[in-house]
C-alpha cells in the first residue's frame, strides 16, 4: 500500500523531472543556451495551456472580456506609461568592493561608495526594456526621427488594455465598472535572470484590469460572497496573521473592497488549480518597493521548498495613473460620466467626469507553473520502490488518461488501440503505451501526473469492460467501455 507520500526535501528533483519528461527545457540549448529563456516541451506546453484556459474561464465567469494586443509598441507609449523613465537607469559601480548602485537612488559617480568608501566608476546605462526599430527610420541622423522609430517589447501586457480604454468603455456601453483580461508574453531584460522559471527575460503574464469609479471602490457588489474567506496577510506595517477579507478591509489593512475582492479571487483561482493554501500568503509592498504606477500592491507569494517565498501574483491598485497619463500624453479624453454627485441642499446636477481607477491582478504564469510542478511532486514508498507522482488537479493535468493492454499480446493490443482511438475521437486527450510491464507503465504516467490509466485485459475481450486506475490511490474500478467517456468527463470537469 502507498504511504501518505512525502514531499521532496529541496525541490531539486522537479527540475530534473521537468527536463527529462519534456516539461521545460533551457532555450537555445544546442548553442550553449541563454540565461532567462526557457522553452516548454510537449507536456509543459499542455500544462501551461490548461492553466491559461482555467484562468481565462475563471475571469470570463466574472464577466470580463479578453482582448489581445501587440507585443511591440512605439516609444511614446512607454514615455507615457512611465516605463521608459523607470526602466532606464544609469548605474555606478564601486572599484573597490564592486557594489552596484543606481544613479536614481541618489548615488553619484563623484561620491564615495556608501558600502566601503571606495572610488566609484560609471557602469553604464541599463534598460530593462528590449529596444527595437519600427520600420526604416527617416531623417538619417536626426535625433527626433530616430526616436520616433524606436520601439520596445512590452514589459507588461497591461498597457495594451489602457490604450484601448475608450474603445473598451464604448464596448461596455459607457458603464463602469468593467474588467478586461489579457494573456500574453512580456519581456524584461533582467540583469541577472535566475532560478528556473522565476525570473525570465521572456515570460507569460495573465493580467486583468478592472476599471472602477473611484467613489465606488469601497463598495464591491459581490463583496458579500467572499468576505468571510480567511487568508494569511503580511501588511507593510503591523502584525502578520490570518484574517478574513472583511476584517482586513474594515481594519484598513486592505484599502478598499475592490482590492479585497480581487485578492480573494486570486486566492480562489490559485486554490482551484492546486496551489496549496498553506503555502500561500499575501504580502503588501512597502512604499519603497512599489512600482512607479502603484499606490498599493499586494503580492500573492508561494513558499517554494527550493527558493523560499516568491511572488506569483501581484494585485495592484494603480489608481488613475495610467489613464490620466495616457490622456495627457495622447491628448485623449479618458473621462467617464460618473454617478450623479448631488449633495444635500445643492441644486447642481451636473454629472462630473471622472477618471476611473484600476485594480489589477497580474499573474506570472511561468512562476505559477513552477509552483505547481514543485508543490505537486510527491515521493512515496510503495513496497521496495519509490514512486514519483505529480498530483496535478484533473483540470490542469497535461494528459487525462493513458490506455494500456495488460499484456503485450496482439489481441489485447488491438483492443486497447481501438479504445484509445475511440477516446481520441471523442476529443479526450489520452496516450497509448504497451511497452514494458504494466507497473512500469503506471509509473510513467504517475510521473507526468496523468490522473487515470485504462487497462484492457482478457475480461475486456469477453464483456467489454476495462479497469480505470486512479493515480493517487492506485485503486481500480471496472467500467464498461461505453461509459469510459462519461466517467472521465465527470471526473475531469468536476474537481
Stretch that binds RNA, among 220-228, 237-245, 257-265, 400-408 (CB under 7 A): 400-408
CA distance 437 to 418: 20
Size of the site for RNA (CB under 7 A): 67
Q: Which of 130, 232, 303, 307 binds RNA (CB under 7 A)?
A: 307
Residues 80-139 that bind RNA (CB under 7 A): 86-87, 93, 98-102, 123, 128
Q: How far is the CB of 111 from RNA (least distance, A)?
A: 15
Query: At its nearest, how many Å lie between RNA and the CB of residue 162?
Result: 14
- HEC sequence for the chain: CCCCCEECCCCHHHHHHHHHCCCEEECCHHHCCCCCCEEECHHHHHHHHHHHHHHHHHHHCCCCEECCCCCEEEHHHHHHHCHHHHHEEEEEEECCCCCEEEHHHCCCCCCECCCCCCEEEEEEEEECCCEEECCCCCCCCCHHHHHHCEEEECCCCHHHHHHCHHHHHHHCCCCCCEEEEEEEEEECCCCCCCCCCCCCCEEEEEEEEEEECHHHCCCCCCHHHHCCCEEEEECCCCCCEEEEHHHHHHCCCCCCHHHHHHHHHHHHHHHHHCCCHHHEEEEECCHHHCCCCCCEEEEEEEEECCCEEEEEEEEEEEECHHHHHHHHHHCCCCCEECCCCCCCCCCCCCCCEECCEEEEEEEEHHHHHHHHHHHHEEEEEECCEEEEEECCCCCCCCCCEEEEECCCCHHHHHHHHHHHHHHHHCCCCEEECCCCCHHHHHHHHHHCCCCEEEEECHHHHHHCEEEEEECCCCCEEEEEHHHHHHHHHHHHHHC
Judged by CB under 7 A, which of 3, 6, 9, 33 binds RNA?
Answer: 33
345 DSSP 8-state letter: T
CB of 196 or CB of 284, closer to RNA: 196
Residue among 45, 67, 428, 474 that touches RNA (CB under 7 A): 474
Binding mask 419-458 for RNA (x = CB under 7 A): ----------------xxxxxx-xxx-xx-------x-xx
Q: Residue 367 to residues 208, 227, 303, 421, 438: CA-CA distances in angstroms? A: 17, 27, 12, 35, 35
Does 415 bind RNA (CB under 7 A)? Our answer is: no
Choices 25-33, 209-217, 225-233, 247-255 (CB under 7 A): range interacting with RNA? 25-33
Using the minimum distance from each CB to RNA, give the nearer residue, 2 or 67.
2
Closer residue to RNA in complex, CB, 226/448: 448
The stretch among 19-27, 48-56, 370-378, 420-428 that binds RNA (CB under 7 A) is 19-27
Task: Report 180-239 residues binding RNA (CB under 7 A).
Answer: 188, 190-196, 199
* Region from 16-24, 263-271, 320-328, 352-360 binding RNA, contact rule CB under 7 A: 16-24
Question: Site mask, RNA, residues 140-179, x = CB under 7 A?
Answer: ---------------xx-----------------------
Residue of 136, 383, 493, 494 that binds RNA (CB under 7 A): 383
Q: Which of 206, 334, 192 is nearest to 265 (CA)?
A: 206
Q: What mask of x and - would describe binding to RNA in positions 273 to 292, judged by CB under 7 A?
A: ----------------x-xx
Please, what is the minimum distance in Å from the beta carbon of residue 156 to RNA? 5
DSSP at 216: G
Contact range with RNA by CB under 7 A, out of 167-175, 242-250, 270-278, 405-413: 405-413
Name the residue nearer to RNA (CB basis): 16 or 239.
16
Supply the minimum distance, in Å, between the C-beta of residue 259 and RNA: 17
Q: Which is nearer to RNA, 126 or 232 (CB)?
A: 126
Q: Which is nearer to RNA, 19 or 56 (CB)?
A: 19
Contact positions vs RNA (CB under 7 A):
16, 19-20, 26, 32-36, 86-87, 93, 98-102, 123, 128, 155-156, 188, 190-196, 199, 289, 291-293, 306-307, 382-383, 385-388, 406-409, 435-440, 442-444, 446-447, 455, 457-459, 466-467, 469, 474-476
Amino acid at each position: 500500500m502507498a504511504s501518505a507520500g512525502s514531499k521532496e526535501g529541496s525541490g531539486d528533483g522537479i527540475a530534473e523531472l521537468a527536463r527529462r519528461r519534456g516539461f521545460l527545457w533551457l532555450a537555445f540549448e544546442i548553442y550553449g543556451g541563454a540565461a532567462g529563456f526557457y522553452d516548454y516541451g510537449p507536456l509543459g506546453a499542455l500544462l501551461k495551456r490548461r492553466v491559461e484556459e482555467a484562468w481565462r474561464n475563471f475571469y470570463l465567469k466574472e464577466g470580463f472580456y479578453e482582448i489581445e494586443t501587440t507585443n511591440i509598441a512605439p516609444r511614446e507609449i512607454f514615455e507615457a506609461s512611465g516605463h521608459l523613465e523607470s526602466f532606464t537607469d544609469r548605474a555606478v559601480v564601486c572599484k573597490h568592493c564592486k557594489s552596484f548602485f543606481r544613479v536614481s537612488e541618489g548615488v553619484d559617480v563623484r561620491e564615495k561608495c556608501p558600502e566601503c568608501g571606495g572610488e566609484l566608476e560609471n557602469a553604464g546605462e541599463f534598460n530593462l526594456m528590449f529596444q527595437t526599430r519600427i520600420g526604416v527610420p527617416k531623417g538619417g541622423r536626426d535625433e527626433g526621427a530616430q526616436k520616433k522609430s524606436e520601439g520596445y517589447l512590452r514589459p507588461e501586457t497591461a498597457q495594451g488594455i489602457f490604450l484601448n480604454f475608450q474603445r473598451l468603455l464604448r464596448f461596455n456601453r459607457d458603464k463602469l465598472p468593467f474588467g478586461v483580461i489579457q494573456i500574453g508574453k512580456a519581456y524584461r531584460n533582467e540583469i541577472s535572470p535566475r532560478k528556473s522559471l522565476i525570473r525570465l527575460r521572456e515570460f507569460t503574464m495573465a493580467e486583468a484590469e478592472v476599471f472602477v469609479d473611484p467613489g465606488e471602490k469601497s463598495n464591491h457588489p459581490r463583496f458579500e460572497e467572499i468576505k468571510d474567506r480567511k487568508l494569511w496577510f503580511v501588511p507593510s506595517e503591523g502584525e502578520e496573521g490570518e484574517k478574513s477579507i472583511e476584517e482586513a478591509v474594515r481594519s484598513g489593512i486592505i484599502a478598499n473592497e475592490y482590492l479585497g475582492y480581487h485578492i480573494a479571487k486570486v486566492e480562489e483561482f490559485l486554490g482551484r488549480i492546486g496551489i496549496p493554501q498553506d503555502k500561500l500568503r499575501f504580502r503588501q509592498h512597502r512604499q519603497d518597493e512599489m512600482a512607479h504606477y502603484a499606490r498599493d500592491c499586494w503580492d500573492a507569494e508561494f513558499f517554494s521548498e527550493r527558493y523560499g517565498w516568491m511572488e506569483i501574483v501581484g494585485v495592484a491598485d494603480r489608481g488613475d495613473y495610467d489613464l490620466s497619463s495616457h490622456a495627457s500624453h495622447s491628448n485623449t479624453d479618458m473621462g467617464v460620466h460618473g454617478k450623479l454627485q448631488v449633495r444635500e441642499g445643492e441644486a447642481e446636477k451636473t454629472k462630473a467626469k471622472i477618471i476611473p481607477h484600476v485594480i489589477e491582478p497580474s499573474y506570472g504564469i511561468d512562476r505559477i507553473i513552477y509552483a505547481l510542478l514543485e508543490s505537486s511532486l510527491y515521493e512515496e514508498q510503495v513496497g521496495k520502490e519509490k514512486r514519483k507522482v505529480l498530483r496535478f488537479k484533473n483540470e490542469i493535468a497535461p494528459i487525462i488518461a493513458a490506455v494500456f493492454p495488460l499484456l503485450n499480446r496482439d489481441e489485447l493490443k488491438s483492443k486497447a488501440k481501438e479504445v484509445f482511438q475511440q477516446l481520441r475521437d471523442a476529443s479526450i486527450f489520452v496516450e497509448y503505451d504497451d511497452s514494458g510491464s504494466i507497473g512500469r507503465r503506471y509509473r510513467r504516467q504517475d510521473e507526468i501526473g496523468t490522473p487515470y490509466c485504462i487497462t484492457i485485459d482478457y475480461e475486456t475481450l469477453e464483456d467489454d469492460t476495462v479497469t480505470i486506475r486512479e493515480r493517487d490511490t492506485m485503486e481500480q474500478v471496472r467500467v464498461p467501455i461505453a461509459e469510459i467517456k462519461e466517467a472521465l468527463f465527470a471526473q475531469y470537469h468536476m474537481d
